[in-house]
Amino acid sequence: MTEKPANAMWGGRFAMSPAEIMQEINASIGFDKALAPQDIRGSKAHAEMLAEAGIITKSDAREIVKGLDKIKAEIDAGTFEFSRALEDVHMNVESRLKDMIGAAAGRLHTARSRNDQVATDFRLFVRDAIDGIDTALEGVQRALVEKAEKHAGTVMPGFTHLQPAQPVTFGHHLLAYVEMISRDRGRFADARKRLNESPLGSAALAGTSFPIDREKTAEALGFDRPMANSLDGVSDRDFAMETLAAATITAVHFSRLAEEIVIWMTPQFGFVKLSDRFTTGSSIMPQKRNPDAAELARAKVGRIAAAFQGLVIVMKGLPLAYSKDMQEDKETAFDALSSLRLVMAAMAGMIADLEPNAEAMRAAAGRGYSTATDLADWLVRELKMPFRDAHHVTGSIVKVAETKGIDLEALSLEEMQKVEPRITKAVFSVLSVENSVKSRTSYGGTAPQNVVKMARQWLRRLEKGRGKV
Ligand code: ARG
């Protein structure tokens, strides 16, 4: 049996080809081909710098850049043939370049290693992803704010322990998510700031003896500066961990909103309606309208959090500098980032699509004695009762209503006076859910006038690009 030749890119001292299983476990081309655009950007910047520093000739650099552009076009057109024998995207591209332009291709890898190459490509990829995520999150914020402004006065039950607590407005509830997303965007922006240094020129791990210009490549690739330590340059994956941590927190937020949509959509709640665009039917139960998109948005946090945890575990205890373990950084990160993209798009669509049922929300807001706190506050304000006593009196009044099976509002004045004789008919003004929410005017409270103000403030902030903290 004749042996296949060793890998042409590094096989100089190898007499035999890798075992089939070696190739299979070693190859990353199946997923890292997603880095091709970034790989080509990085290689072009490197080639141009090499020529300007006099390390390769200008004409070789021109050939290289032209060839790389052609390869990019082949990849975009889907005609590029990726080969597993060539392991990864870096060697696939370089090998194709050699087919195209011959000897000059071999000069591209001067003063560079796949270690700083992959670190650069992955950083560029994650940076591109962060930019896309930020735009998408802004879109979700906009959808939420627009709906919130429209429903600033729509009363719904507010819950704690998923038990009716106090009435709130739907607009206020939606704006809570706008705040969360502003922090999410801030976290991605922070990660981007620390990510934005160039590892290119760290070479294998120790730097290089060639007179390279790292400032130049950093600038060409939109990085703020070169990384200051070559060992750190090739071995750092903080940027990916940090981005995945931010993605996980964002996905947690979306899973909470998705869960609420699922609950709100049940016939038992009937708070919102999603159109046919975001629901599915059942193949056996004709009456069903299932919130599949919300359920999937609720579930995607699983794979996103797993990607974060997975990378943390891969990196834990790795000695400096590069180890092949680090090839395991990409596949799940790609999946997590594209999953988040999907979640954000589905959520933006669902938020714009969903219509609250104001009647059902208002009716539910009045159940469960949700204005009991308002009654207690009235006793404190009007009768100068200490809050603890007022809490006790209110508890007794709620018990009377409960025994009769009626709302607080429906109790007669006499019935309340049996518990506390000083109560007057003025108390009825605080027992309706509308008056309850109207009275919550403290900063950050749920009063419709606050919500309108906040929603308008948010619209202005978003217009000015100040939607993150
Ligand atoms: N495919 C590799 C990765 O993703 C590229 C770096 C390979 N470096 C090496 N020294 N074998 O990590």
Residue pLDDT, tens place only, 272-321:
999 889 988 888 888 888 999 999 999 999 999 999 999 999 999 999 99
Q: Can you tell me which atom of ligand 1 is nearest the CA of 322?
A: 10
CB 30 within 8 A of CB 328: no
Between the CA of 27 and the centroid of ligand 1 the distance, in Å, is: 9
Q: Can you tell me which atom of ligand 1 is nearest the CA of 89?
A: 1
Question: Does residue 1 have a pLDDT over 50?
Answer: no
Residues pairing with 169 in the sheet: 155
* Model pLDDT, residue 2: 44
Whole-angstrom Cα distance, residue 282 to residue 398?
Answer: 43
Collapsed DSSP state (helix, strand, coil) of residue 197: strand
| One-letter identity of residue 348 | A
113 catalytic, yes or no?
no
CB 256 within 8 A of CB 81: no
From 88, 326, 329, give the residue whose CB has the most ligand 1 atoms within 8 Å, as the site to mutate. Answer: 88
Q: Can you tell me which atom of ligand 1 is nearest the CA of 324?
A: 12
pLDDT band at 223 (very low <50, low <70, confident <90, very high): very high
DSSP 426: G
CB 235 within 8 A of CB 210: no
pLDDT in tens, 152-173: 999 999 999 999 999 999 999 9
Percentage of residues of the chain with pLDDT beyond 70: 99
Long-range contacts (CB closer than 8 Å, 24 or more residues apart) made by 235-239: 235/205, 235/318, 235/320, 235/321, 235/322, 235/326, 236/119, 236/199, 237/122, 237/311, 237/315, 237/326, 237/329, 238/194, 239/123, 239/126, 239/191, 239/194, 239/195
* Model pLDDT, residue 287: 82
From 38, 237, 324, 325, give the residue whose CB has the most ligand 1 atoms within 8 Å, as the site to mutate. Answer: 324
Q: How far is CA 196 from CA 13, 76, 215, 265, in A?
A: 38, 26, 13, 43
Between the CA of 109 and the centroid of ligand 1 the distance, in Å, is: 14
Whole-angstrom Cα distance, residue 310 to residue 117?
Answer: 23
pLDDT in tens, 107-117: 999 999 999 99
For residue 321, cis peptide bond before it (omega within 30 degrees of 0): yes
Between the CA of 385 and the centroid of ligand 1 the distance, in Å, is: 72
pLDDT in tens, 319-333: 999 999 999 999 999
Whole-angstrom Cα distance, residue 329 to residue 186?
Answer: 24
Nearest to 257 by CA among 188, 180, 187, 183: 180
Collapsed DSSP state (helix, strand, coil) of residue 72: helix
Residues pairing with 190 in the sheet: none
pLDDT band at 106 (very low <50, low <70, confident <90, very high): very high
Q: Can you tell me which atom of ligand 1 is nearest the CA of 326?
A: 12
Nearest to 85 by CA among 172, 156, 27, 132: 27
Between the CA of 115 and the centroid of ligand 1 the distance, in Å, is: 6
Between the CA of 69 and the centroid of ligand 1 the distance, in Å, is: 23
Q: How far is CA 278 from CA 137, 258, 262, 291, in A?
A: 19, 12, 12, 7
Mean pLDDT of 55-70: 98
Q: Report the interhelical angle of 292-299 vs 301-315 (nearest 10°).
A: 10
Q: Provide the token pair at 105.
A: 């291709």
Q: Provide the token pair at 204.
A: 């294998």
Nearest-CA residue for atom 12 of ligand 1:
327
Nearest-CA residue for atom 11 of ligand 1:
324
Question: Does residue 5 have a pLDDT over 70?
Answer: no
Active-site residue identified among 83, 275, 282, 429: 282
For ligand 1, residues with CB inside 6 Å are 28, 32, 88, 114-115, 118, 322, 324, 326-327
Between the CA of 327 and the centroid of ligand 1 the distance, in Å, is: 6
End-to-end CA distance of the chain: 65
pLDDT in tens, 330-369: 999 999 999 999 999 999 999 999 999 999 999 999 888 9
Strand duo 155-160 + 163-169: pairing: antiparallel
pLDDT in tens, 10-27: 878 888 888 899 999 999
What b/e readout covers 347-380, taking b as 16+ CB neighbours within 10 angstroms? bbbbbbbbebbeebbbebbbebbbbbbbbbbbbb
* Model pLDDT, residue 282: 80
Average pLDDT, the chain: 95
Mean pLDDT of 31-44: 98
Long-range contacts (CB closer than 8 Å, 24 or more residues apart) made by 371-376: 371/166, 371/167, 371/408, 371/409, 371/430, 371/431, 371/432, 371/433, 371/436, 372/398, 372/408, 373/166, 374/166, 374/430, 374/431, 374/435, 374/436, 374/439, 375/408, 375/427, 375/430, 375/431
Mean pLDDT of 129-138: 98
Nearest-CA residue for atom 7 of ligand 1:
114
Q: Can you tell me which atom of ligand 1 is nearest the CA of 122?
A: 4
Q: How far is CA 360 from CA 352, 366, 440, in A?
A: 20, 10, 22
Between the CA of 188 and the centroid of ligand 1 the distance, in Å, is: 26
Nearest-CA residue for atom 10 of ligand 1:
115
Percentage of residues of the chain with pLDDT beyond 90: 91
For 232, list phi and psi in degrees, rounded to 5.
-65, -40
Q: How many Cα atoms occupy the beta-carbon half-sphere of 217 within 13 Å?
A: 31
Nearest-CA residue for atom 4 of ligand 1:
327
From 91, 202, 327, give the residue whose CB has the most ligand 1 atoms within 8 Å, as the site to mutate. Answer: 327
282 catalytic, yes or no?
yes
Nearest to 122 by CA among 250, 243, 300: 243
Active-site residue identified among 161, 209, 283, 442: 161
